[in-house]
Chains A and B, each alone.
Chain A
């Protein structure tokens, strides 16, 4: 009797662990583009961390602002010092939800368009955002991409008039993440 019970419990636990699959990365790519009349600015961060719970659909991202790399060193300095104030606000985070989890079948190859909703916290301001994304399953590997726009002014980032022609009011943010399964320790 005891043995049967024990086995049953093990079976339940194993099942719940299989359901509650989580994916993660520490090397997600997040880039942004500012397309203004006088200057195009582009920066890439390859150190984004993210965890995605495929049972609940919850998804989270965190990035270090200082890890954005620019082509021009001075731009990188200004980005950190004048705009993002990365000593004061070192991180940007996103906490949200993949809305249409039911459409997903991670055991089958394919491209699944999804919508992600949640809170983006950046430069000390938290905003609700909704972004289109794509989950790509190929040969067991899970990849997620998204592209959305953010208005600089929404996040309390001030653009002085002298550089108004050089920095776009709205920047595009691209996310490109290769997920790996998160094994429970």
Chain B
């Protein structure tokens, strides 16, 4: 009799196991996946600074950037709109982590190139990583006519380099923050009082207001006693507006130049004196190499 009961019990248990409600649970625990943080910033620039984002593999990002004259030039120059410095640039995503790019600015007729590699990606789940980290190296060559053509001039005097570590985190859907310790190297400086190497720390953040609108800010602190006294720290405030394939970045900044050596080490205007440039970056992406979908 006892055996009977045991067998019956076994029978019931095994049948009820088959009749489970949630079929998918029969497959056992789900394999945990690594969930990478995406879209910490809308594009690979915050305003002037590189953001922690890279250009996706196979994508070309065409950038048109303008900085108008300062607002304090008054109505005669339509608050700076009569003057514009501009940069045209192309960025390419070689892989999802490696981006290269270049551009040309009319400010000091400068050509620039950069390479950026994202070596850590913020993720949760199977693999946990609290931050995204990228390394940026840029080189720029200024091609103005020599100030003093009679003396012996060297091509190397035209060159500028920047090395930057970008550490950032998307804290929530709406808030991202990054810090970038930076070294700008100038082969030639105007006076011996200025350092060839300029060390700075940049901070930048984003707050998303709606799905397609974000507010960005960035501040670059240059460590003291490196630059001549006329130079100040760069501060910029702006909006990112996203419309399908374009990102429009509209901003106010006290920097004229759109490349590192310029906006980090050569910013002259002061916000409090109205030395503020209105400007924009327009980013348009094109898929050049289609990814393999499998």
B244: contacting residue among A24, A49, A93, A162, CB under 8 A: A162
Show the binding face of B for A, using Cβ within 8 Å: 3-4, 7, 10-11, 14-15, 18, 22-24, 26-27, 30, 33, 35, 38-39, 56-59, 93, 173, 211-212, 243-245, 285, 287, 290-291, 293-294
Contact yes or no, A73 B291, CB < 8 A: yes
Given A22-B23, A51-B24, A163-B244, is A71 in contact with B291 using a C-beta cutoff of 8 Å? yes
Please determine whether B23 and A53 come into contact, CB atoms closer than 8 angstroms.
Answer: yes
Query: Inside 8 A of B23's CB, which chain A residues have their CB?
Result: 22, 51-53, 58-60
Q: Are A24 and B7 in contact (CB under 8 A)?
A: no
A67 to chain B, nearest CB (A): 8
Given A5-B4, A16-B15, A16-B18 in contact, is the A73-B24 Cβ separation under 8 Å?
no
Q: Which residues of B contact A72 (CB under 8 A)?
A: 59, 285, 287
Instruction: Report the number of A-B residue pairs with Cβ-Cβ less than 8 Å.
Output: 86
Minimum C-beta distance from B125 to chain A (A):
10
Binds B, one of A6-14, A107-115, A125-133, A140-148: A6-14
CB pair B59 A20 closer than 8 Å: no
A69 within 8 Å of B (CB atoms): yes
| CB of A81 closer than 8 Å to a CB of B | yes
B50 to chain A, nearest CB (A): 18
- Checking A5, A22, A66 against B26 with a beta-carbon cut-off of 8 angstroms, the contacting residue is A22
CB distance from A185 to the nearest CB of B (A): 8
Residues of chain A within 8 A of B211, CB atoms compared? 81-82
A86 to B211, CA, bound (A): 13
Judge whether B243 and A162 touch: CB under 8 Å: yes
Please name the residue on chain B nearest to A17 by beta carbon.
Answer: B18
Tell me if A150 counts as interface (CB < 8 A to partner B). Answer: no
CB <8 Å contact, A9 and B11: yes
Quick check: B244 and A166 within 8 Å, CB to CB?
yes
Chain A positions near chain B (C-beta within 8 angstroms):
2, 5-6, 9, 12-13, 16-17, 20, 22, 24, 26, 44, 46, 49-53, 58-60, 62, 64, 66, 69-74, 77-78, 80-82, 87-88, 90, 93, 160, 162-163, 166, 182
**Please, which residues of chain B bring their CB within 8 A of the CB of A20?**
18
Residue of B with least CB distance to A39: B244
* 25 examples of A-B residue contacts, CB within 8 angstroms: A5-B7, A6-B3, A9-B10, A12-B11, A24-B27, A49-B27, A50-B24, A51-B24, A51-B26, A51-B27, A52-B23, A60-B24, A62-B24, A66-B35, A71-B287, A71-B291, A72-B285, A72-B287, A73-B57, A77-B39, A87-B173, A90-B35, A162-B244, A163-B243, A182-B26
Seed contacts A69-B294, A82-B212, A88-B173; 8 additional CB < 8 Å A-B pairs:
A5-B7, A9-B10, A22-B23, A58-B23, A71-B291, A71-B293, A160-B212, A163-B243
Are A69 and B293 in touch, CB under 8 angstroms?
yes
CB of B27 within 8 A of CB of A26, answer: yes
The 4 closest A-B pairs by CB, nearest first: A73-B56, A51-B23, A60-B23, A69-B293
Contacts A51-B26, A74-B245 known; A80 to B7 CB distance under 8 Å?
Answer: no
> Residues of B contacting A80 with CB < 8 Å?
38-39
A178, B109: Cα distance in complex, Å: 60
Q: Which of A5, A73, A81, A88 contacts B58 (CB 8 A)?
A: A73
Q: Do B39 and A81 have beta carbons less than 8 Å apart?
A: yes
* Contact of B11 with A13 in the complex, beta carbons under 8 Å: yes
Question: Whole-angstrom distance between the alpha carbons of A105 and B20 in the complex?
Answer: 23
Give the chain B neighbours of A50 by CB distance below 8 A.
24
A123 to chain B, nearest CB (A): 13
- Using Cβ atoms and an 8 Å threshold, which residues of chain A touch B93? 73
Closest Cβ of chain A to B124, distance in Å, is 10
Contact partner of B287 (CB less than 8 A), chosen from A73, A77, A78, is: A73
Q: Which residues of A contact B4 (CB under 8 A)?
A: 5
Residues on the B chain within 8 Å of A2, using CB: 3
Among candidates B3, B7, B24, B293, residue contacting A44 with C-beta atoms closer than 8 Å:
B293
Q: Which of B18, B59, B173, B291 contacts A69 (CB 8 A)?
A: B291
Q: In this complex, what residue of A is CB-closest to B14?
A: A13
Residue among A16, A71, A73 with most chain B CB within 10 A: A73
Shortest A53–chain B CB gap in Å is 6
Cα–Cα, bound, A101→B56 (Å): 46
Collect the chain A residues with CB atoms within 8 Å of residue B26's CB: 22, 24, 51, 182
Interface centre among B22, B23, B57, B287 (most CB of A within 10 A): B23
